[in-house]
Amino acid sequence: NGFKCHCMSESHQRQLLLASENPQQFMDYFSEEFRNDFLELLRRRFGTKRVHNNIVYNEYISHREHIHMNATQWETLTDFTKWLGREGLCKVDETPKGWYIQYIDRDPETIRRQQEQERKKKQDLDDEEKTAKFIEQQVRRGLEGKELEKPVYTELNRENEEEKVTFNLNKGASTSIAASSKTSSVLGPNALKMVEGAVKRKESAHSSGQAKEKKKKSALDEIMELEEEKKRTSRRDYWLQPEIIVKIVTKKLGEKYHKKKAVVKEVIDKYTAVVKMIDSGDKLKLDQTHLETVIPAPGKKVMVLNGGYRGNEGILESINEKRFSATIIIDS
């Protein structure tokens, strides 16, 4: 009786007739809409973190335009959770506190980033192996230098008793100090001055040789310089920084947010950002692949997000659009 009291239009009656003729078709449509909206909320709000299914569902039904579960093929949230696990859309596990779900991100960009991380990790391991080999070579080279033959000392034997020992002081620096000390009293002060000059030259040559040895870098110094150079020039696959302005490039959130600017308020796990929209003040949680940097006008402040000067602030001086580059002046 209550149904007949409503003033219904012909279109509404026609839709009810169609639904009664083929109810499975409408149930499949509502089930697909429910599944897509639920997974989109799980991905955007919680990412790949493990979360209680009831928390996600309560947030989902808080939207006024959500599709009710009684219009879908699943009778309870537990049935839907188990179905997500069987289909491989989420990792699910049951605990005394209830069912927990974890979104499995199959986005091609995310898979590409994970592969890039694995490749970079392998490259870092290769670099460590090269460094270890380099250290081993330096140690081996140092040990080889210490294993030189030691001088053999022999007795001074005089074969001919009648042969005289003579000293020649005309060659200056090559004169023996021991010989000059014995003959200084006989040859006078001039010879003594020559010997003292030879000693000074020998000492200066010895000190310069020590200075050269000090200037020679050790293996540890060379390794440290290589590591510093590697850190200075290396680029990372993450670039998010708090308080920078970004632009949303994904269309999955609709035209309301597409190509709109926001401020990064928090960076989570290097690749995820909590952003606040500049125009509406809405807060969203997005992956860095769904964002791009915003370049201000020349004369404005910028921050370097990658490369050797990562994290430094500066002033944008000019932009070269043909070369996709910019000239900036670093503050410090």
The CATH number given to whatever domain includes residue 58 is 1.10.10.2030
Q: pTM of whole model > 0.85?
A: no
pLDDT digits 0-9 by tens, 33-54: 888 889 888 888 888 889 998 9
On whether residue 218 sits in a domain, the answer given is: no
Q: How many CA atoms lie within 13 A of 107 on its CB side?
A: 17
Least confident range from 17-21, 43-47, 265-269, 288-292: namely 17-21
Task: Note whether 50 and 102 are within 8 A (CB).
Answer: yes
Q: Are residues 75 and 30 in the same domain?
A: yes
Instruction: Say how far apart CA 285 and CA 94 lie, in whole Å.
Output: 27
Q: Work out the average pLDDT over 150-168.
A: 67
> What sign has the CA pseudo-torsion 225, 227, 228, 234?
positive
- Per the document, the length of the chain is 332
Residue 170 within a domain:
no
- Same domain? 93 vs 52: yes
Domain finish residue from 73, 103, 133: 103
DSSP state of 74: -
Residues 306 and 271 in one domain: no
Q: Which of 88, 103, 118 is the last residue of a domain?
A: 103
Helix and strand counts by DSSP (H, E) for the chain: 9, 11
Q: Are residues 273 and 322 in the same domain?
A: no
Reported confidence tier of residue 129, pLDDT bands at 50, 70, 90: confident
Domain co-membership, 7 together with 74: yes
Same-domain pairing of 78 and 6? yes
Contacts of 174 (CB under 8 A, 6+ apart): 198
How many distinct structural domains can be found in the chain? Answer: 3
Q: Residue 180: how many CB atoms within 10 A of its CB? A: 19
Same domain? For 14 and 55 the reply is yes
Find the DSSP H helices in the chain: 2-5, 10-21, 23-46, 53-61, 77-86, 108-146, 177-187, 189-215, 219-233
Examine the domain organization and report whether 10 and 54 are in the same domain: yes
For 165-224, write each residue's pLDDT tens digit. Answer: 666 665 544 444 444 444 444 444 555 556 566 656 656 655 555 555 555 667 788 888
| 309 and 251 both lie in a single domain | no
Q: How far is CA 253 from the centre of its chain?
A: 28
* Same domain? 255 vs 326: no
Do 10 and 50 sit in the same domain of this protein? yes
Cα–Cα distance, 262 to 243 (Å, whole number): 10
Helix (H) or strand (E) holding 249: none
CATH code of the domain in which 283 resides: 2.30.30.140
Report, as an integer, the average pLDDT of 47-75. Answer: 86
Indicate whether 287 belongs to any domain: yes
Q: In whole angstroms, what is the distance from residue 327 CA to residue 309 CA?
A: 13
Q: In the beta sheet, which residues pair with residue 277?
A: 262
| Residue 324's CATH number | 2.30.30.30
Tell me the pLDDT band of 328, cut-offs 50, 70 and 90. very high
87 is a domain residue: yes
Among 69-73, 145-149, 320-324, which range has the highest average pLDDT? Answer: 320-324
Residue 151 lies in a domain: no
Out of 104-108, 142-146, 214-218, 277-281, pick the least confident.
214-218
- What's the confidence (pLDDT) of residue 64? 79
Q: At what angle do helices 108-146 and 219-233 cross, to 10 degrees?
A: 160
Paired strand residues for 287: 272
- What is the enclosing helix (H) or strand (E) of 327? strand 325-330
The mean per-residue pLDDT over the stretch 298-312 comes to: 87
253 belongs to a structural domain: yes
Same domain flag for 10 and 39: yes
Show the domain range for 62. 1-103
Mean pLDDT value across residues 122-138: 81
Average pLDDT value for residue range 291-306: 90
**Strands 291-293 and 283-287, bridge-based pairing:** unpaired
Arithmetic mean of pLDDT over the chain: 77
**Which of 42, 73, 103 lies at the terminal end of a domain, its last residue?**
103
Residue 81 lies in a domain: yes
Other CB atoms within 10 A of residue 98 CB: 13
Between 114 and 150, the more confident residue is 114
